[in-house]
Structure 1
Amino acid sequence: MSREPILIDLPSELRGPRVLVRPYRPGDGAALQEAVSLSREHLKPWMPWADAHTTVDESEALVRRFDARWRLREDLGVGIWDIETGRYLGGSGLHRIDWDVRRFEIGYWIRADAAGKGYVTEAAGLLCQLAFGPLEANRVLIRCATENRRSAAIPIRLGFLYEGTHRNEGRRTDGLLFDMEVYGMTADRWRQLATAEGMAPGESQSGQAPAASNSPDSP
């Protein structure tokens, strides 16, 4: 693999049984703005940007910045789409990238009316397959607020290991500090799980999906 990230070829989309995960494209702003506007109260406890996206133009400008950062391999933000209906469900991605170490962090959020249906588990599993496959990741991590148990269920379900809790790591939108749990997956563990299960971990999972992880790189 090239040591120049911008030269790394990436798939245009990732498909699971129910979701399609792909980089944002110009024109996705309206779908993003609608999903956030209908989910503000659902997202506010964890996402500092929940009050943003007040207009389609604002969301469209952000979508185009996501597209630019994807092309430069600075950040690999993606949208989650329902394969059957084509509806936009939420956002995820590989963030906080260290190309030297090959370390990535998965963040995610889901619109309120799609929560609890396993979409995020499936999307996060697809991103792990991308990370530990074509991107040759050595480590992928997921961070979740201690109080956000639905979010923490995702890495646990995918076989990530709990690595510790960082105290007073973030601040909620109501001003209160919160602790952050860290879950990690290494390349060796991912391969072991894949061998044991006969597939990539999470490939056929359909458990409960969380409202959001606490990655600040979400939209």
Structure 2
Amino acid sequence: MQPIRLDIPEQFKTDRLILRAPEVGDGAMVNEAIRESFDALSQWMNWAVNLPEIEETEESVRFNRAKFMLRERFMFYMMEPITNRFIGTCSFVKVDWTALKFEIGYWIRTSAAGAGYMTEAVNGLTDYAAQHFGANRVEIHCDPHNTASRRVAERCGYHLEAVLVKSAVDPFKQIRDDCIYAKVRLRDGALGYPV
């Protein structure tokens, strides 16, 4: 398979959200959400060490747009359809085309947390992986102490497959453990976990 040849949708809908690929000019709205949520993000996200300027966020937007087009990484922006308000990202942050394995990463702006949006987005992205990529495996990695992220994975039916001891680095450059949640392709073709 040549991933660059894949014709895949750059946008899809869930019940309450539109998830779409980054577009040039999105930097200001993404930066606003990062600034609102920086205290929460800086606890868990290695990229949230310094508060970015709008121009830096726009560079990131364009980089993620390019990675999407190259089929190397798939950033999706979570948008409220009526207000067109940016509320976070839910993305395939790592892609292994040989094994058809995809890792989902996500964050949500503080003012939108607790409303079930992330659970909805992760379920939507999991379906996207099955439908458009024929995924064999989808993973979610998170810090064991990040209870909000763990709850999302569990509500979406992901199975805690392992806690890897001292296998990751946190934003403060401290070695930490890493929870790995997974869904795999079952015999009936659905993504789930054998019991």
Q: Which band: TM-score by shorter chain?
A: over 0.9
Q: Is the alpha carbon distance of 1:26 and 1:79 closer, same or farther for their aligned partners in structure 2, counting shifts above 3 Å? A: same
Match of 1:36 among 34, 49, 52: 34
Q: Which amino acid aligns with 1:168?
A: K
User: Any idea what the Cα deviations from partners look like across 1:105-155, whole Å, max 9, x if unmatched?
Assistant: 000001111111111111111111110111110000001110011101112
* 1:114 pairs with one of 112, 115, 123: 112
Show structure 1 runs of 4+ deviating over 4 A: 189-194
In the alignment, structure 2 segments of 5+ residues that lack a partner are none
- Cα offset, 1:193, TM superposition: 7.0
Do the aligned residues in 1 keep the contact of 2:49 with 2:171 (CA within 8 Å)? no
Match of 2:132, SS? coil
RMSD: 1.7
Greater relative CO (CA pairs within 8 A, separation 6+) = 1
Q: Which secondary structure state, in structure 2, belongs to the residue aligned with residue 44 of structure 1?
A: helix
Gaps spanning 5+ residues in structure 1: where? 195-219
Map Cα deviations across residues 166-196 of structure 1 (whole Å, 9 max, x no partner).
11122333444321111110121785579xx
SS of 1:76's equivalent in the other structure is coil
Structure 1 partner of 2:163? 165
The 3-state SS of whatever aligns with 1:77 is coil
> Secondary structure of the equivalent of 1:101?
coil
CA distance in 2, matches of 1:132, 1:193: 7
**Maintained 8 Å contact 1:132/1:190:** no
Report the Cα distance in structure 1 between the residues aligned to 2:61 and 2:14, rounded to whole angstroms: 23
Q: Call closer, same or farther: CA 1:148–1:189 in 2, change over 3 Å.
A: farther
TM-score normalised to structure 2 length: 0.92
Tell me whether 1:124 sits opposite 2:157 in the alignment: no
Match of 2:52 in 1: 54
